[in-house]
Structure 1
Amino acid sequence: MTQTILRLNHKGEGVPETGAPIPRTLPNEVVEDGRIVTPSADRVAAPCRHFKSCGGCAMQHASDAFVADWKTDVVRLGLSARGIETDIRPIVTSPAQSRRRATLHGRRTKKGAMVGFFGRGSDALIEVPDCKLLDPAIIAAIPMLEELTVAAASRKSTVGLVVTLSGSGLDIDVRDAKPLEPQSILEMSALVERHKLARLSWDGEAVATRVPPFQIFGAGKVTLPPGAFLQATDHGQQALSDAVRDILGDAKQVVDLFAGCGTFTLPAAEKAEVWALEGEASLIAALDAGWRMATGLKKVKSETRDLFRRPLLPQELRKTDAVIIDPPRAGAEAQTIELAQSGVKRIAAVSCNPISFARDAKILIDGGYRLDWVQPVDQFRWSSHVELVAQFTKPHMG
């Protein structure tokens, strides 16, 4: 059966004239029984030899220029579906081999263990020794992760290995592992020392810490709780932070909503007093500790608050010059409704979901805000994901 690919869906799969989406195809390509008959001019040889079998990447068959344009269009189409037009800046893309955080999986074998990513649409585990996505320090740690898998996995189980490159070494959280016996804890402590890991955790509970694993947020050094959210690449974090900094300008009083561990809070505190709010107490505690250990920063007030159930109200924002808001993928509809009624002059909106962002943007615009520009950021290279920062202002307030 011969089919022509019309467009890509939100997963980056080719949508033909009829039938189910076809992965790893591009618009205008002619496909016959799963074989590319007429390739697109945008088709390239995948840079990674694991691409055909590994499910970690979706878009290595497309040129960088095509992916950049496609992800920019994802943002534009999300906005246009809500009747919104604005200036969309050129996308900023993280380089290859820059992912500092990833979830690998491990399984025991007759001879030891194997570690890698799942195959596309399957539970087959694919080893990726030449991965072009991960930071080389993570690739170099695969033999150690195999050793860890032998200790953590039962004969038939699969363990998750959340690996984060910190400023003091690798920070690893083992998920779905078998319980550790007292002797095993001693063995894991020895493994941490032998491989110079920063920290090893078991389902979110620290087992052994050689040195606190820290991340740099502006002038602050923050030790994240095990498995806590972190921007995927340092490059991406910097691009997002630079855009947020531009929006804040000379603001003196800033509120950071969904602040996490302080990715944007601490850079903002170099010039402004910041009120940081986050629903998870452990993240707020890490942010507060990082601020207290830093020098040269202005006051940061840290508060644990569920912004979905108790959004910040307009009267609580009376003295605020600018707001940073960086919600989870579902967006922050309840908080945005309150924010739209406020008199805050500038809003720096960060999002990892163009669709929920467009919904919330429409709420702000209906409340009198202007969407000045959007900056797409692609730190999940070769995936279908795209992030963004957007500037909102209330024109009548200058």
Structure 2
Amino acid sequence: MSEAEQIIRIAARGDGVTAGGTHVAGGVTGDALLPDGSLERGPHHVDPPCRHFERCGGCQLQRMDEDILAEFVRSRVANAAEGQGLPTDIVTPAYLSPPKSRRRATLHAINGGGRPVIGFREARSHQVVDLKECHVLAPELFTLVEPLRQLLSHWPGKYACDIDLACAEQGVACDIRKLTFEGLDQTQALLDFAQGEGLTRLTIDQGYGTEAIWEPEPVSIDLGGISVGFPAGAFLQATADGEAALVGAAREWLGDCARIADLFSGLGTFAFALRDGAKIDAYEASRDSSLACLLASRRRQAGVEAHHRDLFRNPLRAGELAPFDGVVLDPPRAGAKEQVGQLAASAVPRIVYVSCNPQSWAKDAKVLVEGGYELREIRPVGQFRWSTHVELVSFFERRE
């Protein structure tokens, strides 16, 4: 390399890429790769706010300013669409969740016989970074890290457990998996921790199923103004504002529909938000989530009918979709190949597809377009700030 090469974009895993195609770890759009292999910072390269950056696998993009971060999120979605021959001029600017807004997360705790280590794993490694600060977690979640260290510092033997934290209406729910306990002393330590930290729930899964240690009142989350029971392990959008962005798009595009099917509905994030003036049928494979949705709807007479159904093995057929004038679906990362095939063969006028994986979404979107739908708009959403994990919400209308 005889002269400096400017970095012109960010690759999917967060590396900078020069015009010549060279990948540069730590590079940002506008930086220059010098002939000696060093990096000269450009106008969009900033100091990462967190001391753990580059070790912690929770963030990959803290060295970018807001403009480049937003463009990265948008380009991930646009590139996925382009790869399947879908239009990219309908991709809007990205929405980004602010720092310290993540309301759910899974931390890992390990003990090799010494001091507990609690945090996120390093990138592509099972090593755990011992968190001293975090700029993505909501403060009420991060403040539990040190008390968890204190709790586990007295735990006998070796362990490697997962700690699910989530902000509920009543406070923070803490669900610990792969941690064994026995006897009155350990049980009392868990109770003292839960009470002392004001947890709304503490559960332990020793490998035989979830066991409630502390739950003074039923735990719930607010979805569309309805309090819905929140079972341990149930899905919750990563940030409240990110959820609002996704839900707002669905309301905008399906707000005047009379009957809507919510597919892969979880606890009813979209179902309850869309219920005003519409009859909603919510389909979900998780029995606990489907039951929580059903009970909440009946308790408040919210007009949401919940159905326990595995849409991977038993998708709604085109004929079953006939009564609906709108569909919203939010499948797991793998996408919804079988269900999308039935949607493509249906006559549903409008479809809102929410996705946490632009690549699987693009494949499904192509099927819908080939089946007679027009892709009207795509909105990228960066709920997982400073991460390469990207989400989107998209709108399809059946061509006449």
Q: Give the TM-score taking structure 2 as reference length.
A: 0.90
Corresponding residue for residue 119 of structure 1? 122
Corresponding residue for residue 206 of structure 1? 212
Q: How far off is 1:310 after superposition?
A: 0.8
Counterpart-to-counterpart distance in 2, 1:34 and 1:27: 19
> What secondary structure does 2:173 align onto?
strand
Change in CA separation of 1:111 and 1:365 when aligned onto 2, cut-off 3 Å:
closer
CA contact (8 A) 1:197 1:210 kept: no
How many residue pairs get matched? 393
Counterpart-to-counterpart distance in 2, 1:179 and 1:354: 41
Corresponding residue for residue 46 of structure 1? 48
Corresponding residue for residue 82 of structure 2? 80
Corresponding residue for residue 96 of structure 1? 99
Deviating more after overlay: 12-21 vs 348-357: 12-21
**2:165 is matched by which residue type in structure 1?**
V
CA contact (8 A) 2:181 2:187 kept: no
Deviating more after overlay: 54-63 vs 184-193: 184-193
CA contact (8 A) 2:258 2:278 kept: yes
The correspondence for 2:283, drawn from 277, 283, 286, is 277
What CA deviation, in whole Å up to 9, does each residue of 1:265-297 have, x standing for no partner?
A: 1111222111110111111011112222335x2
Counterpart-to-counterpart distance in 2, 1:103 and 1:287: 24
**2:391 is matched by which residue type in structure 1?**
E
Aligned: 1:65 with 2:71: no
Q: Map 1:154-165 to 2 at 5 A.
A: 155-165=157-167
Aligned: 1:374 with 2:371: no
> What secondary structure does 2:319 align onto?
helix
**2:141 is matched by which residue type in structure 1?**
I
> What secondary structure does 1:133 align onto?
coil
Counterpart-to-counterpart distance in 2, 1:101 and 1:115: 16
**1:247 is matched by which residue type in structure 2?**
W
Corresponding residue for residue 289 of structure 1? 295
The correspondence for 1:168, drawn from 159, 165, 170, is 170
Change in CA separation of 1:190 and 1:37 when aligned onto 2, cut-off 3 Å:
closer
Change in CA separation of 1:33 and 1:144 when aligned onto 2, cut-off 3 Å:
farther
The correspondence for 1:391, drawn from 389, 392, 395, is 395
The correspondence for 1:339, drawn from 330, 336, 343, is 343
Counterpart-to-counterpart distance in 1, 2:29 and 2:362: 25
Counterpart-to-counterpart distance in 1, 2:96 and 2:305: 33
The correspondence for 1:248, drawn from 250, 254, 257, is 254
Counterpart-to-counterpart distance in 1, 2:22 and 2:124: 14
Q: How far off is 1:157 after superposition?
A: 2.6
Aligned: 1:327 with 2:331: yes
Aligned: 1:308 with 2:312: yes
CA contact (8 A) 2:54 2:60 kept: no
Change in CA separation of 1:141 and 1:194 when aligned onto 2, cut-off 3 Å:
same
Deviating more after overlay: 114-123 vs 353-362: 114-123
Change in CA separation of 1:318 and 1:124 when aligned onto 2, cut-off 3 Å:
closer
Q: How far off is 1:179 after superposition?
A: 4.3
Give % identity.
Answer: 34
Deviating more after overlay: 90-99 vs 208-217: 208-217
Change in CA separation of 1:180 and 1:346 when aligned onto 2, cut-off 3 Å:
farther
Change in CA separation of 1:160 and 1:19 when aligned onto 2, cut-off 3 Å:
farther
Q: Give the TM-score taking structure 1 as reference length.
A: 0.91
**1:255 is matched by which residue type in structure 2?**
A
The correspondence for 2:265, drawn from 252, 256, 259, is 259
CA contact (8 A) 1:259 1:278 kept: yes
Unmatched 5+ stretches in structure 2:
none
Deviating more after overlay: 12-21 vs 173-182: 12-21
**1:206 is matched by which residue type in structure 2?**
A
> What secondary structure does 1:314 align onto?
coil
Change in CA separation of 1:36 and 1:354 when aligned onto 2, cut-off 3 Å:
same
Q: After the TM superposition, which parts of structure 1 deviate over 6 Å for at least 4 consecutive aligned residues? A: 16-20, 32-35
Q: How far off is 1:166 after superposition?
A: 1.1
Counterpart-to-counterpart distance in 2, 1:180 and 1:333: 45
> What secondary structure does 2:291 align onto?
helix
**2:358 is matched by which residue type in structure 1?**
P
CA contact (8 A) 1:200 1:206 kept: yes
Q: How far off is 1:335 after superposition?
A: 0.4
Unmatched 5+ stretches in structure 1:
none
The correspondence for 2:135, drawn from 123, 132, 135, is 132
Q: How far off is 1:28 after superposition?
A: 6.1
Aligned: 1:105 with 2:108: yes
The correspondence for 1:188, drawn from 182, 187, 190, is 190
CA contact (8 A) 1:55 1:118 kept: yes
